[in-house]
Amino acid sequence: MSDNNDAPFETVNVSHEEFRAGLPHGRFRVIINPALAPKYVQHRLWIKLLLLPVLGIGVALGISGYLWAGLALVLIGVLIPRIIRKRAPELLLHLATRTRIFIVKQSSTRSSKCGQGHRPYHKHRAGSVGLLTGS
């Protein structure tokens, strides 16, 4: 008996609505690059921007005498990015079903950056690599 996972796959262009409807039924096989997913998810969710004040308030509380409250906020500020990094592929798939995210096949001759100083999720001209966001 042959396994469908061993069969070659082809890249298809589908609308976001078709993707959302077909994914729960197993019509699509989604491959997520585990090296690019954490960077994209952290950027998309503004993790660094949101956690800097949490860390600052935690340190301020610890210094001002509220040690346990400050320690709790610092632990939240340290652990949340690690949890997000670990679960980034799952979160990216969740984001893909909620908003339009275009995934572009990465060329083997190019690195994860396009050579123009852009990040992998930045939208470029044709032949780009990495993750792209759409409206």
- How far apart (Å, rounded) are the C-alpha atoms in residues 28 and 101? 15
* 93 neighbors 30 (Cβ within 8 angstroms): yes
Report if residue 18 sits inside a domain: no
pLDDT at 3: 52
Is residue 62 assigned to a domain? yes
- Note whether residue 55 is domain-resident: yes
Mean pLDDT of 67-83: 96
Q: What is the pLDDT of residue 119?
A: 47
Domain range for 52: 33-133
Q: In this structure, is residue 27 part of a structural domain?
A: no
What angle (nearest 5°) sits at the alpha carbon of residue 47, between those of residues 45 and 51? 145
> What is the tally of structural domains in the chain?
1
103 in a domain, yes or no?
yes
pLDDT tens readout for residues 77-127: 999 999 999 999 999 888 888 887 655 444 444 444 444 444 444 443 333
Strand partners, 130: 104
Q: Identify each DSSP E strand in 47-121 by its residue range.
A: 101-104
Tens digit of each residue's pLDDT (9 = 90 or more) over 11-50: 778 888 888 888 888 888 888 888 889 998 999 889 999 9
Indicate whether this model's pTM tops 0.85. Answer: no
pLDDT for 26 equals: 83
Name the token pair of 90.
């799952």
